[in-house]
């Protein structure tokens, strides 16, 4: 029936929650127009179409305009042109009514307002919609944006925090009916629930109720989409249009977050079982089974296997979740034999090597599973027992782990057994297998022939490839470590540092590998005379919350000992060695531990200990002999042997190592440098100091990563030179190669402490000023420049300070100044300039 009213003309409507603001403006224009109102309003269920029609009808009635509501009993052709014919839910009208509305729309100046959903798409509806859109201004009641919602609330004098507005829009996808529901339960005065848990619960219940009324085709599609399976097929476009029309999908077919939650909460078990067989929904199925819904007591082997498949996919990248999935899979009836290797892989990725070992110890021997064999081998390598890893690889079947098997055998000095498949027998099909095969090939080149740029190029390229894969797979040693150690053996410490730096930045090897890479980064920083960087690497390595493996502990010990030897006192070195000596005996030496072993051998000889590491030294030399003593891997150990003999004052220890370096010098530049420096060093110790030769040898040692040794050589020369100029020249060379470390910025020397020590010793203000700079590690020249005195005057001041403090060396002086009122005389053996 038509309705009339006699009220005066009303203004525009108050803001409606009908989507974008342009729709609101078009509604206002529709009401304000003097000509007959004409419009075609389109929107999904709950978008506010009917609300707009009701309010338009009310405003028109206030103006005295007659309106008529369209239904099956109304013939549009019989409605006078000046009466406003209002038709809602176009999709529910019969074909005859659709035809009548189309005919009326075609007549200009007839009043007509029609509202419709965008679906279904019957032929009659499509034709009518096309004619209506062509003839009438179209208003789209689209999705709500955050600014739309804020404007709507402002008019109603409601204020919600911006975070709440954003969260409502995000979880509802901006669907108007869901936004309205959210506002109905949200506290209008504020928010006491930052996560909006109660609001989500309410919306899930409302969506679940609406899902009961949709047909089976749409329900199946919503389940597939909400579980991550993408768009359903066939007929995907039509189902997506239906879902959008119902307000349950976004226009592009994407799931609305709160609808997805509702579907996952209410999906029946039999559908989960069906969907678990689809690879594209496995992740969502696993989330459902580890979510808030209680599935306890549910046992189904197929579900269990689907959970294990997802756990295997996540083991390297999200080991905590992988472990949770495995536990739930076991609860649902998955075989323990299938779950255990995945749990072990997750434990490895998390850095819990012992946990991985315990899990695998409980699994029956599976020689036919190369993944289990590779993991067991990697575990024993991490425990510092590479020969056990080699035994496991030798017993493994198949060629999948052949590259790592080759690497492991070479690491302990053995060749490939006869009949064992070669790592490079066929082109590997994946980036990971190419990386491992290239690592094995590069490693063999460093052993089988005089190594050069080709071997290092292979190893560096393999390291980059391995980083690209993102693999966290268990390996006996990381490709980046192998490449870096080889680079050091080739006299390329800068290349080694770049390789490790790129590996750390690229998360090479995953979580379990990060500590080892940081420790190698610290070790290389020491070789580059960067003690602060080395300490920072140590600090970061200790921040990693995972158990220490014997292999990593051995490397950490080498870094700490090297720092102490170079930058602290001999007493500190002796104390540290007492603390860590047992740790270094927990590993069996292999090819990739020779560098830290070499640095330890030379360091502890400084305090007279050669027996602790002698078994490891003997094993290392035997390993190298089995491989034919390749220069890349042997030169640093031989150099350490020479340093050990010098420090222990046992020439007989020097001779075999010197001969080995001379033999290798023909095809190894770094061996030639070491051999030449060794000859000059022995000459210096005999009292023959050629300053040109000493300086040149020291600089050449520094160029190949042995700056500390070069500085010591120059220091030895200075200590035995008779000419004052030669002494000054060689000391300057030593300081340039190994600058004294600045004080640790984390433990600054308090000015009061310096003043206290100075006052006790009767230092003058100028001497106190010089003392501060001495503690900072400044040279005579630097002190002179900073306080405007000559280097010679600075030297005199320091001599007087040393005399007043009874210091016997520069390092002793620094120690006494750093520790106020120190009563005990410091050990002076730690100076890098002393023999």
Burial 19-36 (b: 16+ CB within 10 A, else e): bbeebbebbbebbeeeeb
Residue 574's pLDDT is 92
Residues 6+ apart with CB under 8 A from 514: 504, 507, 544
Residues 164-203: pLDDT tens digits? 889 999 999 999 899 988 888 887 666 667 778 888 889 9
Q: Do domains 21-142 and 386-614 have the same CATH topology?
A: no
**Nearest residue to 148 via CA among 104, 101, 195, 183:** 183
Q: Quick check: helix, strand or coil at residue 318?
A: coil
Instruction: Calculate what percentage of the chain has a pLDDT beyond 70.
Output: 82
Looking at per-residue confidence, does 741 or 91 come out higher? Answer: 91
Strand 84-87 and strand 112-116: the pairing is parallel
Reply yes or no on whether the pLDDT at 429 is more than 60: no
Q: Which residues contact 642 (CB under 8 A, 6 or more apart)?
A: 654, 657, 658, 661, 674, 678, 681
Most confident option among 452-456, 600-604, 761-765, 797-801: 600-604
In CATH terms, 386-614 corresponds, of 1.25.40, 2.60.120, 1.10.730, 3.90.1690, to 1.25.40
pLDDT number for residue 147:
86
Q: Is the pLDDT higher at 369 or at 471?
A: 471
Tokens of 111: 């009043």
> Which of 63-72, 494-503, 720-729, 754-763 shows the lowest mean pLDDT across its residues?
754-763
Higher per-residue pLDDT: 138 or 452: 138
pLDDT, mean over the chain: 82
> Which CATH code of 1.20.200.10, 1.10.10.10, 3.40.50.720, 3.20.20.10 fits the domain covering 751-818?
1.10.10.10
- As a whole number of angstroms, the distance between CA 43 and CA 53 comes to 13
pLDDT band for position 493 (cuts 50, 70, 90): very high
pLDDT at 641 over 90: yes
Taking the domains of the chain in order of start, what are their residue ranges?
21-142, 160-367, 386-614, 751-818
Contact predicate 410/381, CB 8 Å: no
The neighbouring-strand residues paired with 427 are none
pLDDT at residue 5 tops 80: no
pLDDT, tens only, 46-59: 888 888 888 888 88
Tens digits of residue pLDDT in 582-638: 889 999 999 999 999 999 999 999 999 989 999 999 999 999 999 999 999 999 999
pLDDT on residue 759? 53
pLDDT in tens, 373-402: 888 889 999 988 898 888 888 876 555 567
Task: Give 129's pLDDT tier (boundaries 50, 70, 90).
Answer: confident
Q: What are phi and psi of 70, to 5 degrees?
A: -80, 130
Q: If 0-12 CB within 10 Å is exposed, 13-18 middle and 19+ buried, where does residue 226 land? A: buried
Cα of 815 vs its chain's centroid, Å: 41
User: What is 21-142's CATH number?
Assistant: 3.40.50.300
Given a cut of 90, is residue 284 above it in pLDDT?
no
The answer on pLDDT for 30 being more than 60 is: yes
pTM of this prediction?
Answer: 0.67
């Amino acid at each position: 029936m038509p309705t009339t009213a006699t009220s005066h003309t009303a203004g525009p409507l108050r803001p409606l929650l009908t989507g974008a603001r342009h729709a609101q403006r078009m509604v206002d224009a529709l009401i304000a127009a003097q000509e007959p109102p004409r419009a075609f309003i389109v929107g999904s269920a709950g978008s506010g179409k009917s609300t707009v029609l009701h309010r338009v009808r009310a405003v028109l009635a206030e103006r005295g305009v007659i309106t008529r509501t369209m239904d099956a009993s109304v013939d549009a052709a019989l409605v006078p042109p000046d009466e406003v014919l209002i038709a809602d839910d176009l999709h529910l009208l019969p074909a005859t009514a659709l035809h009548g509305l189309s005919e009326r729309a075609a007549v200009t100046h007839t009043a007509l307002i029609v509202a419709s959903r965008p679906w279904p798409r019957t032929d009659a509806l499509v034709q009518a919609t096309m004619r209506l859109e062509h003839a009438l201004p179209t208003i789209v009641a689209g999705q709500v944006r955050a600014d739309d919602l804020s404007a709507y609330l402002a008019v109603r004098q409601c204020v919600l925090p911006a975070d709440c507005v954003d969260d409502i829009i995000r979880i509802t996808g901006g669907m108007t009916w869901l936004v309205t529901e959210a506002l109905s339960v949200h506290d209008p005065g504020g928010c006491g629930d930052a996560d909006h848990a109660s609001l989500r619960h309410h919306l899930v219940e409302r969506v679940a109720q609406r899902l009961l009324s949709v047909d089976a085709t749409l329900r199946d599609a919503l389940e597939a989409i909400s579980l991550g399976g993408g768009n359903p097929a066939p007929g995907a476009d039509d189902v997506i249009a239906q879902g959008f029309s119902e307000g349950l999908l976004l226009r592009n077919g994407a799931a609305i977050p709160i609808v997805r939650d509702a579907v996952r909460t209410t999906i029946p078990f039999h559908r989960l079982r069906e969907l678990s067989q689809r690879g594209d929904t496995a992740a969502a199925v696993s989330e459902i089974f580890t979510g808030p819904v209680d599935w306890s007591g549910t046992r189904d082997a197929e579900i269990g296997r689907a959970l294990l498949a997802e756990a295997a996919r996540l083991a390297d990248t999200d080991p905590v979740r992988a472990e949770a999935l495995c536990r739930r899979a076991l609860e649902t009836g998955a075989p323990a034999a299938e779950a255990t290797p995945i749990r072990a892989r997750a434990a490895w990725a998390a850095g819990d090597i012992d946990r991985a070992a315990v899990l695998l110890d409980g699994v029956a021997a599976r020689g036919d599973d190369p993944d289990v064999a590779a993991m067991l081998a990697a575990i024993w390598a991490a425990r510092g027992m590479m020969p056990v890893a080699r035994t496991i690889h030798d017993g493994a079947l198949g060629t999948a782990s052949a590259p790592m098997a080759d690497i492991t055998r070479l690491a302990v000095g053995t060749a490939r057994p006869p009949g064992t498949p070669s790592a490079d027998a066929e082109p590997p099909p994946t980036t990971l297998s190419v990386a491992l095969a290239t690592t094995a090939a590069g490693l063999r080149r460093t052993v089988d022939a005089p190594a050069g740029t080709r071997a290092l190029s292979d190893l560096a390229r393999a390291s980059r490839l391995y980083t690209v894969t993102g693999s966290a797979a268990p390996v006996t040693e990381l490709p980046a470590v192998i490449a870096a150690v080889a680079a050091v053996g080739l006299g390329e410490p800068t290349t080694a540092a770049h390789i490790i730096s790129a590996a750390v930045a690229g998360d090479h090897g995953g979580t379990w590998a990060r500590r080892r890479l940081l420790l190698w980064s610290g070790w290389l920083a020491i070789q580059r005379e960067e003690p602060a960087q080395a300490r920072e690497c140590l600090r970061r390595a200790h921040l990693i919350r995972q158990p220490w493996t014997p292999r990593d502990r051995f490397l950490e010990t080498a870094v700490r000992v090297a720092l102490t030897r170079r930058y602290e006192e001999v007493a500190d070195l002796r104390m540290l060695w007492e603390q860590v000596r047992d740790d270094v005996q927990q590993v069996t030496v292999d090819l990739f531990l020779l560098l830290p072993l070499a640095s330890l051998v030379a360091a502890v000889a400084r305090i007279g200990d050669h027996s602790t590491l002698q078994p490891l030294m003997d094993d290392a030399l035997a390993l190298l002999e089995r491989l034919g003593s390749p220069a890349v891997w042997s030169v640093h150990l031989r150099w350490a042997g020479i340093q050990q003999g010098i420090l222990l004052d046992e020439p007989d220890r020097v001779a075999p190592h010197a001969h080995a370096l001379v033999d290798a010098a023909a095809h190894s530049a770094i061996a030639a440098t070491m051999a030449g420096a060794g000859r000059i060093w022995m000459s210096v110790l005999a009292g023959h100091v050629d300053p040109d030769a000493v300086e040149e040898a020291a600089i050449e040692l520094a160029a190949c990563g042995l700056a500390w040794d070069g500085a010591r050589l120059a220091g030895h020369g200075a200590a035995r030179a008779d000419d004052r100029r030669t002494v000054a020249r060689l000391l300057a060379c030593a300081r340039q190669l190994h600058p004294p470390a600045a004080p640790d910025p984390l433990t600054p020397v308090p000015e009061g402490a310096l003043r206290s020590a100075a006052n006790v010793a009767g230092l003058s203000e100028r001497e106190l000023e010089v003392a501060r700079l001495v503690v900072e590690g400044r040279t005579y020249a630097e002190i002179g420049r900073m306080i405007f005195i000559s280097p010679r005057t600075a030297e005199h001041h320091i001599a007087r300070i040393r005399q007043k403090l009874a210091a016997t060396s520069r390092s002793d002086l620094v120690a006494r100044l750093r520790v106020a009122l120190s009563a005990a005389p410091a050990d002076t053996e730690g100076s890098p300039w002393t023999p």
